[in-house]
């Protein structure tokens, strides 16, 4: 059975087409989801793509979190639906309180666009099980408001619970606290990442193929869930 990964388009989304293409390259059927439509059309996982949803008015992701589709995604995520937020999608997940902390203006106040090395911190999420812990990967980063911040207690909890998914290595591009590039919720089904894995899935256009692992991880997770559901007589969906 082909797994279906939904990719949301908000007004101002920039990388929804790239995320949909990455899902297809990984072997999934990509399903386009519209911000104003709460129907998730039976998808098995969701990607919130990069861009400038609603023009970044008020604050990055602050309006998008109230979109009709986000109400459905938030409910489904709490029920175990795998959700990946990339860049602006990460900001939306934080605004929706599906992930802790916030993404603020880069400390140096400049937009940063470069190929960035990351170190994978955990492989126990729905989006990172194809990697190995400690693996270094190379994917693009491009943001002006990518500095992850949280209070010390939250930062300690993220580290203590193994919820830091990836850290910046060989230089921090935006001043994120403790070099955090990606985090997950406690259940491991919701992941937010500031760099762009969807831009590193083809040799022709990316600095590596390392980004593909996020999408193949989701398919691996879903396949395992489906097999478990069959064994127990139930269904993940």
Catalytic residue annotation: 87, 196, 198
> How far apart are alpha carbons 125 and 189 in whole angstroms?
6
What are the beta bridge partners of residue 99?
A: none
Say how far apart CA 123 and CA 130 lie, in whole Å: 7
Region at 45 (left for phi over 0; alpha for psi -120 to 50; beta for the rest): beta
Residues contacting residue 131 through CB under 8 Å, at least 6 positions apart: 120, 123, 137, 213, 217
Closest by CA position to 28, among listed 67, 82, 100, 79: 82
Q: CA-to-CA distance for 131 and 124, rounded, in angstroms?
A: 10
Q: Rounded to whole angstroms, what are the CA distances from 54 to 13, 67, 173?
A: 8, 10, 25
CA distances 60 to 40, 63, 64, 89, 102, Å, are 23, 8, 8, 9, 10
């Amino acid at each position: 059975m082909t797994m279906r990964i939904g990719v949301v388009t908000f007004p101002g989304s920039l990388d929804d087409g790239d995320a949909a293409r990455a899902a297809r390259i990984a072997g999934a059927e990509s399903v386009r989801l519209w911000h104003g439509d709460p129907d998730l059309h039976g998808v098995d996982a969701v990607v919130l793509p990069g861009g400038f949803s609603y023009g970044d008015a008020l604050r990055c992701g602050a309006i998008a979190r109230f979109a009709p589709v986000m109400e459905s995604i938030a409910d489904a995520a709490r029920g175990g639906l795998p959700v990946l937020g990339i860049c602006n999608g990460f900001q939306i997940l934080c605004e929706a309180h599906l992930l802790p902390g916030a993404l603020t203006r880069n400390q140096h106040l400049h937009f940063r666009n470069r190929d960035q090395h990351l170190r994978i911190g955990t492989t126990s999420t729905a989006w990172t099980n194809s990697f190995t812990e400690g693996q270094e990967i190379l994917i693009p980063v491009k943001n002006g408001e990518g500095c992850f911040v949280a209070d010390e207690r939250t930062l300690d909890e993220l580290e203590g619970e193994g919820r830091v998914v990836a850290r910046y290595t060989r230089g921090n591009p935006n001043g994120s606290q403790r070099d955090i590039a990606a985090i997950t919720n406690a259940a491991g089904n919701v992941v937010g990442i500031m760099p762009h894995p969807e831009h590193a899935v083809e040799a022709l256009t990316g600095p590596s193929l390392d980004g593909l692992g996020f999408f193949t991880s989701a398919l691996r997770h879903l396949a395992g869930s489906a097999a478990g559901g069959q064994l127990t007589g139930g269904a993940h969906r």
